[in-house]
Amino acid sequence: MKRTLVKLRNSKFRKFIRKHEKYAPIIFFIGGFIFDSLTLGRIDRLYDLVVLCSHMTLLSITLFLFNLSDDGKWRNTFLERYKEYFPLAIQFFFGALSSAYVIYFSRSVSLSKTMSFFVILLAILFANELLKKRISNKYLQFSVYFFLSFTFFTFIIPVFIKEMGTTIFMISGLVSLAVTLSLITIIYIKSPSTRAEMKLGKIIGIVFGLYALINVFYYFDLIPPVPLALQEGVVAHNVKVENGKYIVSYETDEWYVFWRDHRDKFISRPNEPVYVFTSIFGPTSIEKSVFHRWKWLNETTGEWEIADDIGFDIVGGRDNGYRGYSYKNNTKEGFWQVEVITEEELILGVIDFEIIESTTLQPKGLVLKKF
């Protein structure tokens, strides 16, 4: 009876998939995205580590099974009845891994960094839909796989060894390169259909091209220093510590400015100090030096001038991030930026504001908030 019910359910699911074959890959991609969005929390939590490692492992296995299925390798085995689900599983894991990275990157208040990864995710989604063969395209498969595995190892390796930096990033990239090229080589050797559809030299060239491109992005600080992330960044009139809490006094913006907590026009009395408060998330036991780099826009030259670098050490592990602040006296009127950077000068986020000195204007929407 139970076996009959299972067969019936499988039959109904198979009919549903075949009926909606055109949209099934997108549905599974979005399904993977939503699954992780609802379940993942912080990168160093055991559940998150198990889920991420499972996604990456199962994606690798499914890619192997899928690429050998056209050669009849699974004929007369239990895998044969599931081979039409392999591309859907690949889509699911692509979506799940992509969403996990967005969740972790979205901890940062640097919107541009988060948006860059949303753009990459959309590119993956539309590439799957617009390419004639969609996920069966070998070059697409392995290109997306390499990008996701590179990002996976840049997250996972620092968490396990409790250290991060440029050297660790380079090691993560090399591990990803080795894993991807190994998978491609094994599939290429074992699958005649893959050899017929794909040129080995071309896909290796694409992978190395992506590897070089990601490293160029890293060199020019276009990739956040994962797994660190800036959670809060506020320009304030005062910051003080009471009973382990940071009491931050700052101006709020209009209700419709939902992407920023503080007001970007800072009303200052002459010689009043200006504070910047930040909260930085890092995995447990990771220790890192960070800096607040204060920069002022010289409107005569149009150049940003570094006014000060104020550093402090952080220790990861706190859900709401490691809190710290810096302040400056005798600031000038005009546009300012405070870059939150690592000792390698990789940017965690940027806090922009304009200082307006006045003896008559009053701070607008002044609030006290505990962090």
Higher pLDDT, 270 or 103: 270
Does pLDDT of 13 surpass 60? no
Does pLDDT of 309 surpass 90? yes
> How much is the pLDDT for 132?
42
CA 92, CA 88: separation in Å to the nearest integer? 6
Q: Which pLDDT band holds residue 182 (cuts at 50, 70, 90)? A: very high
- Residue type at 206 in one-letter notation: I
> How much is the pLDDT for 5?
39
At residue 336, the 3 state secondary structure works out as: strand
At residue 94, the 3 state secondary structure works out as: helix
Does pLDDT of 200 surpass 90? yes
Contact 293, 342 (CB under 8 A): no
- Residue type at 192 in one-letter notation: P
> How much is the pLDDT for 109?
52
Contact 339, 350 (CB under 8 A): yes
Does pLDDT of 130 surpass 70? no
Tokens of 356: 């307006």
Nearest residue to 286 (alpha-carbon basis) of 44, 65, 1: 44
Higher pLDDT, 218 or 333: 333
- pTM score of the predicted model: 0.76
Taking only the tens place, the pLDDT of each residue in 78-97 is 888 888 888 888 888 887 88
Pick left, alpha or beta for residue 48 (phi over 0 → left; psi -120 to 50 → alpha; otherwise beta). alpha
Residues of each domain in the chain carrying CATH 2.60.40.1930: 229-370
Does pLDDT of 133 surpass 90? no
| Residue 359: CB atoms within 10 Å | 6
CA 55, CA 91: separation in Å to the nearest integer? 11
CATH topology of domain 229-370: Immunoglobulin-like (2.60.40)
- Residue type at 150 in one-letter notation: F
Contact 140, 127 (CB under 8 A): yes
Contact 329, 271 (CB under 8 A): yes
Percent of the chain with pLDDT strictly greater than 70: 81
CA 254, CA 227: separation in Å to the nearest integer? 32
Q: Which pLDDT band holds residue 1 (cuts at 50, 70, 90)? A: very low
Does pLDDT of 162 surpass 90? no
Tell how strand 347-357 and strand 334-342 pair up: antiparallel
CA 290, CA 288: separation in Å to the nearest integer? 6
DSSP string, 136-168: G-HHHHHHHHHHHHHHHHHHHHHHHHT--SHHH
Q: Which pLDDT band holds residue 124 (cuts at 50, 70, 90)? A: low
CA 268, CA 245: separation in Å to the nearest integer? 25
Question: Which range (109-118, 215-224, 254-263, 331-340) has the least confidence?
Answer: 109-118
Pick left, alpha or beta for residue 329 (phi over 0 → left; psi -120 to 50 → alpha; otherwise beta). beta
Higher pLDDT, 242 or 25: 242
- Residue type at 338 in one-letter notation: V
Beta strands in 150-286 (DSSP E): 229-236, 238-242, 245-251, 265-268, 274-281
- Residue type at 38 in one-letter notation: L
Report the DSSP beta bridge partners of residue 278.
233, 324
Question: Which range (78-82, 106-110, 216-220, 250-254) has the least confidence?
Answer: 106-110
Taking only the tens place, the pLDDT of each residue in 320-364 is 678 899 999 989 999 999 999 888 888 888 899 999 988 888 787
Most confident of 215-229, 284-298, 313-327: 284-298
What does residue 73 show for φ and ψ, rounded to 5 degrees?
Answer: -65, -30
Report the DSSP beta bridge partners of residue 178.
none
Q: Averaged over 205-225, what is the pLDDT?
A: 87
What DSSP state is assigned to residue 243?
A: T
